[in-house]
Amino acid sequence: MSLFGFLTAIGDTLWEYGTLLTVLFVVACAISAYRSWKKEQLRNEWNAAGKDVVVLHTLGRGYTCPHISPFGLKLETYLRMAGYKIQIDEKAPMSSKGKTPWITLNGVDMTDSQLIIEHLSANNKNFSSHLSDKERAIANAFQVMVDEHLYWGLVRYRYLTDPHIRAMELTSVYPSWIKYMFPLMRHMLRKALHAQGLGRHSDAEVMGIMRKDIESISTYLGEKPFLMGDEPCEVDCAIFGELGHLLWNAPDSPYFTMVTEEFPNLQQYCLRMKDKFWPDWEEILDKPLSKEPH
């Protein structure tokens, strides 16, 4: 090849790469502009909710429980207890911390169900002020036990024990393509459970650990209508979030049997919370096949 031919070939190649890079750059800019526009649209939608209306960003409703996340059930129960008007948003379920649920209230975003409840409780929506310091310490210990411990046993049951994640199919609506993400989802959850610790035990050991948590709640609840006495308070939202999921979102699980047969005061408790705060429970459940079937 002559020098001229060689230089022309290099020029052509650079031109092609240049064209390709330009196209990629334009596409990236277009995607970024679309995302910003979409974000702004959503923000306008949330701001239009009105003063003091809580926009609750969450995963969709389920077939058997209004929230497919226990933290969603916990947080909405608190918002209902506190008498907030609520607008559900399913378009942006994940917070800036990569977790769900979260809220927007009067244009301000807040993340983490517990931090949100504590923040709102500090502003006149406090249902634990009658508790003694000792009782508050007990309530705190129970909240941490269910949110940070019992929850992981539930995750393990729902997403890892059964490779087909049938519990998800039986309780929630999701687009069919999500099925192709199951292996990745299970891989990530297995890693998370390993780091948390419960992932290192056998199924039988985990069941024993879960039983202890469940039994502790049952024992402390005893004959009382709510965990801390005659009236429900913040900790009941956390307990109801997790136990409600064992009762309504873990079909055929040993935990369902524990709640309904071994510790029936917990089932009664969940029904009491449901009757008090969720009179529209059946109405708002998603109906099977009402969206895209899987």
Q: Which residues are at the interface with ligand GSH (CB under 6 A)?
A: 69, 71, 98-100, 112-114, 147
Closest CB to ligand GSH among 98 and 222? 98
Q: How far is the CB of 33 from ligand GSH (least distance, A)?
A: 27
The residue length of the chain stands at: 294
Does residue 101 have a cis bond before it (omega within 30 degrees)?
yes
Output 67 or 274, the one with its CB closest to ligand GSH: 67
Given the complex with ligand GSH, which of 170 and 215 has the nearer CB atom? 170
N-terminal to C-terminal alpha carbon distance within the chain: 59
CA distance 188 to 183: 9
146/229 Cα distance (integer angstroms): 18
Query: Residue 106 CB, nearest distance to ligand GSH (Å)?
Result: 20
Between 35 and 191, whose beta carbon lies closer to ligand GSH?
A: 191
71 or 226: CB nearest ligand GSH = 71
Phi, psi angles (nearest 5°) of residue 108: -105, 130
264, two tokens: 């029936």
Shortest distance (Å) from residue 233 CB to ligand GSH? 17
Q: How many CB atoms lie within 10 A of CB 271?
A: 12
Q: Which residue, 72 or 232, has its beta carbon nearer to ligand GSH?
A: 72
Indicate the residue among 68 and 206 with the shorter CB distance to ligand GSH: 68
Compute the least distance from the CB of residue 234 to ligand GSH, in Å: 13
Do 111 and 102 touch, CB atoms closer than 8 A? yes
Residue from 147, 121, 171 nearest 239 by CA: 147
Report the amino acid identity of residue 190: R
Measure the CA–CA gap between 102 and 116, rounded to whole angstroms. 8
Between 159 and 263, name the residue whose CB sits nearer to ligand GSH: 159
State the minimum distance, in angstroms, from the CB of residue 102 to ligand GSH.
7
What SS3 class is residue 232? Answer: coil
CB of 100 to ligand GSH, least distance (A): 4
Tell me the closest approach of the beta carbon of residue 65 to ligand GSH, in angstroms. 12
Q: Whose CA is closest to 266, among 206, 215, 229? A: 215
For 278, which DSSP code? -
User: In Å, what is the CA distance from 46 to each residue of 68, 93, 115, 116?
Assistant: 22, 13, 20, 17
Query: Minimum distance from CB of 99 to ligand GSH (Å)?
Result: 4
